[in-house]
A and B are shown apart, each in its own frame.
Chain A
Amino acid sequence: MSAAQDDVKAPKVDAATSVIDIENLSLTFKTNDGPVHALSKIDLSVKAGEFVSLIGPSGCGKTTLLRVIADLEQPTSGDVTINDMSPHEARMQRGYGYVFQAAALYPWRTIARNIALPLEIMGLDKAEQDKRIAANIELVDLQGFENKYPWQLSGGMQQRASIARALAVEPDLLLMDEPFGALDEIVRDHLNEQLLRLWAKSGKTVVFVTHSIPEAVFLSTKIVVMSPRPGRIHDIIDSDLPKDRDLDIRDSKAFLDLTHRVRVGLRAGQER
């Protein structure tokens, strides 16, 4: 892993700085059936190096919140800053990597060429592209599949390739929208462990959307519990689990307590 490890950037900012600052954010969609309050008065701050999960039932606006951070949706009111930039500036400077619910690989490109896609758009030279492709393919354990087409790979491998594609941009911030939602539990556990190792090694900041309680608790340093109608933050839970964890931690008392707190929070948010 040494070569790949050296290529991953060390965190640039110290742990106290905010990467994402959200103040009083609201978003209302206008539909034919009247306005839908997707997000209401969201306040959230994400520090450098944190792993933040957004969890909640469907319709609570967790994906919408992530898309606002990524400048894929425009808020109705409120302020969002990412590394002291507006989301639009952050997007144009490739200030984040975004992993979607599906791999969204282009079927006419091989795995290596798919990872090269953002690098081509950034205008990197061929040597730098090749270096980053090799490093990130190694990082997600896809050596030997560089010249395969996406439709020749399993769902889990496709999603790993899409993570490699997001990482190849070398962003300090990684936005992940239920990236493992479509995969079976065994593959999902495995990828969770890999993701955690990647995060610990690279020191990146991650915002992770999920609707799985164990996944959120296992991965996060901070769990944001959201509730629907209107979409809002119900509770923010700081995890006291050690940073260095493996799947066995899921049987520990601390893990189960956290799981319980999240579940109670979700239920309370639902009933209010």
Chain B
Amino acid sequence: MSLRTTLATIAFAGALAGLLLPLGAARSIVWGAGIWGGGVATVFAVLAVALAAILRSGRADTSGQGVARIVLGGLILLPHLGALALIAMLKDMSGAAGLGYWALVIAAWALAWLLVDALANRDGWNWLSRFVLALVVPALFGVWLLILWEILVRGLGVPTVLLPPPSMIGVRFAASVPTLWADFQQTFLKAVLIGYVMGCGAGFLTAIAIDRSPFLQRGLLPIGNLASALPIVGVAPIMVMWFGFDWHSKAAVVVIMTFFPMLVNTVTGLAASSAMQRDLMKTYGAGYWPTLIKLRLPEALPFIFNALKINSTLAMIGAIVAEFFGTPIVGMGFRISTEVGRMNVDMVWAEIAVAALAGSLFYGAITLIERAVTFWHPSMRST
């Protein structure tokens, strides 16, 4: 049995079970919810039957294709409307969902999987549709992660202190945009970015200095190694004492965290050129600096970008954790530590969402620059 047939069967069985089994615990069942559930189950069952018929007849003539298109449209629309209805039903029976309800959830999830599968196997007919398809599939995946999170947490009645549903986080997010923005400014735009630039820059320049002088190679590399081994929870309070409560001390922690990966990667990258390429520069009578700029730095770029990518995540972690050890009353780390203490877990999650979004965009931007700059490297070539 193919994956599609299996999924269609699961969807049909789920819909049927949703029709027959109780939707919620007897005391909380409401007529409205019952009618909603019946409707959803019927629609899902019809869709699953239509799909099964398509799969059986195969993709043959043009009329079959027309039907397939309608079914695809149904797949796009119905599981999502169904999910909305299922979430709406939860209002009356939080923590008291019955077997029939869960059967419907499984049916909706199976249909969504079928949709993702159908879309992932489709070829775009031009670059635009290919681009949209490439975005839609992971987006659908993310949306269904949120839907299932919402339904599971509320349907099972998980305490919000343990895990709040995404809707609650969303509401909290929307209500505290000014606070989140101030925290983002304090932590990301000041501590992370400035510390990142200074740490990466210092690591890079130290690598060049080490490369230039064998004396420094023996002296500085072990010290750099030491800096990377320092525990952040030990360093952060000391930096606060040195540089004060504001973002400067957090930037200092970020500098310490990002320095070593950049140093080691650049030193390795500078040694990446082949003996023949260096001999070639020698035959041109090229000295240290022309050789560095025209050969060794370009050859080191893939390594340097590796460090930039590693450091982009390290800098976020460093700045947020450093704020746990003393800070003015603003900043993502400060907010997380205080709101946890006040059991406002939804606010913590909102900050986590901001951090995840900012971190991903930061990383993505560096990756895009890397692709443009090291297009010639075998790992990037398309031809």
Q: How far is the CA of A41 from the CA of B295 in the complex (A)?
A: 36
B283 partner, pick from A98, A106, A122, A152, beta carbons under 8 A: A98
A-B contact count (CB 8 A): 52
List A97-152 residues whose CB lies under 8 Å from chain B.
97-98, 100-102, 104, 106-108, 117-118, 120-122, 149, 151-152
Q: Once the chains bind, are B285 and A93 in contact (CB under 8 Å)?
A: yes
Q: Check A169 for interface membership: any CB of B closer than 8 A.
A: yes
Contacts A92-B285, A94-B285, A121-B285 given; indicate if A107 touches B377 (C-beta within 8 A). Answer: yes
Q: Once the chains bind, are B280 and A104 in contact (CB under 8 Å)?
A: yes
Q: Once the chains bind, are A104 and B276 in contact (CB under 8 Å)?
A: yes
Q: Mark B260-282, 1 if CB is under 8 A from A, else 0.
A: 00000000000000101101111
Q: Closest CB of chain B to A74's CB: distance in Å?
A: 12
Q: Check B215 for interface membership: any CB of A closer than 8 A.
A: no
Q: Once the chains bind, are B284 and A104 in contact (CB under 8 Å)?
A: no
Chain B residue with Cβ nearest A101: B276
Q: Check A80 for interface membership: any CB of B closer than 8 A.
A: no
Q: Once the chains bind, are A100 and B280 in contact (CB under 8 Å)?
A: yes
Chain A residues near B171 (CB, 8 Å)? none
Which of B279, B298, B383 has the largest count of A CB atoms less than 10 A from its CB? B279
Chain B residues near A268 (CB, 8 Å)? none
Chain B residues near A152 (CB, 8 Å)? 383
Q: How far is the CA of A186 from the CA of B292 in the complex (A)?
A: 38
Q: Once the chains bind, are A70 and B298 in contact (CB under 8 Å)?
A: no
Q: How far is the CA of A98 from the CA of B290 in the complex (A)?
A: 18
Chain B residue with Cβ nearest A108: B376
Q: Check A234 for interface membership: any CB of B closer than 8 A.
A: no
Q: Check A36 for interface membership: any CB of B closer than 8 A.
A: no
A100 partner, pick from B279, B298, B381, beta carbons under 8 A: B279
Contacts A106-B295, A121-B290, A149-B376 given; indicate if A94 touches B277 (C-beta within 8 A). Answer: no
Q: Check A96 for interface membership: any CB of B closer than 8 A.
A: yes
Q: Closest CB of chain B to A157's CB: distance in Å?
A: 15
Chain B residue with Cβ nearest A122: B284
Q: Check B59 for interface membership: any CB of A closer than 8 A.
A: no
Chain B residues near A96 (CB, 8 Å)? 283
Q: Mark B353-380, 1 if CB is under 8 A from A, else 0.
A: 0000000000000000000001011100
Q: How far is the CA of A96 from the CA of B279 in the complex (A)?
A: 13
Q: Check A254 for interface membership: any CB of B closer than 8 A.
A: no
Q: Check B189 for interface membership: any CB of A closer than 8 A.
A: no
Chain A residues near B298 (CB, 8 Å)? 106, 108
Q: Once the chains bind, are A91 and B282 in contact (CB under 8 Å)?
A: yes
Q: Closest CB of chain A to B170's CB: distance in Å?
A: 46
Q: Once the chains bind, are B285 and A91 in contact (CB under 8 Å)?
A: yes
Q: Once the chains bind, are B294 and A100 in contact (CB under 8 Å)?
A: no
Q: Closest CB of chain A to B324's CB: distance in Å?
A: 44
A107 partner, pick from B282, B294, B376, beta carbons under 8 A: B376
Chain A residue with Cβ nearest B374: A108
Q: Once the chains bind, are A117 and B284 in contact (CB under 8 Å)?
A: yes
Q: How far is the CA of A97 from the CA of B376 in the complex (A)?
A: 26
Q: How far is the CA of A122 from the CA of B284 in the complex (A)?
A: 8
Contacts A104-B276, A107-B377, A108-B298 given; indicate if A91 touches B286 (C-beta within 8 A). Answer: no
Chain B residues near A97 (CB, 8 Å)? 283
Chain B residues bordering chain A, tally (CB within 8 A): 21
Q: Once the chains bind, are A94 and B383 in contact (CB under 8 Å)?
A: no
Chain A residues near B274 (CB, 8 Å)? 104
Q: How far is the CA of A94 from the CA of B280 in the complex (A)?
A: 12
Chain A residues near B383 (CB, 8 Å)? 152
Chain B residues near A264 (CB, 8 Å)? none
Q: Closest CB of chain A to B358's CB: distance in Å?
A: 31
Q: How far is the CA of A164 from the CA of B315 in the complex (A)?
A: 47
Q: Closest CB of chain B to A140's CB: distance in Å?
A: 17
Q: Closest CB of chain A to B360's CB: distance in Å?
A: 28
Q: How far is the CA of A94 from the CA of B376 in the complex (A)?
A: 29
Chain A residue with Cβ nearest B274: A104
Q: Closest CB of chain A to B267's CB: distance in Å?
A: 21
Chain A residues near B294 (CB, 8 Å)? 106, 117, 120-121
Q: How far is the CA of A117 from the CA of B377 in the complex (A)?
A: 19
Q: Check A15 for interface membership: any CB of B closer than 8 A.
A: no
Chain B residue with Cβ nearest A100: B276
Q: How far is the CA of A101 from the CA of B277 in the complex (A)?
A: 11
Chain B residues near A92 (CB, 8 Å)? 285
Q: Check A72 for interface membership: any CB of B closer than 8 A.
A: yes
Contacts A107-B377, A121-B290, A121-B294 given; indicate if A102 touches B285 (C-beta within 8 A). Answer: no
Chain A residue with Cβ nearest B294: A117
Q: How far is the CA of A11 from the CA of B108 in the complex (A)?
A: 84
Q: How far is the CA of A101 from the CA of B295 in the complex (A)?
A: 19
Q: Once the chains bind, are B376 and A151 in contact (CB under 8 Å)?
A: yes
Q: Closest CB of chain A to B81's CB: distance in Å?
A: 51
B284 partner, pick from A106, A151, A169, beta carbons under 8 A: A169
A102 partner, pick from B276, B290, B295, beta carbons under 8 A: B276
Chain B residues near A117 (CB, 8 Å)? 284, 294
* Top 3 A-B pairs, shortest CB-CB distance: A107-B376, A98-B283, A108-B376
Q: Which residues does B use to contact A, with CB under 8 Å?
A: 274, 276-277, 279-286, 290, 294-295, 298, 374, 376-378, 381, 383
What are 25 A-B contacts defined by CB distance under 8 Å? Answer: A70-B283, A71-B282, A72-B282, A91-B283, A92-B285, A96-B283, A97-B283, A100-B280, A101-B276, A102-B276, A104-B274, A104-B276, A104-B277, A104-B280, A106-B294, A106-B298, A107-B376, A107-B377, A118-B284, A121-B281, A121-B284, A121-B285, A121-B286, A149-B376, A151-B376
Q: Which residues does A use to contact B, with CB under 8 Å?
A: 70-72, 91-94, 96-98, 100-102, 104, 106-108, 117-118, 120-122, 149, 151-152, 169
Excluding A97-B283, A117-B284, 16 further A-B contacts by CB distance (< 8 Å) are A72-B279, A72-B282, A72-B283, A94-B284, A98-B280, A100-B276, A100-B279, A101-B276, A106-B295, A107-B376, A108-B298, A108-B376, A117-B294, A121-B286, A121-B290, A122-B284
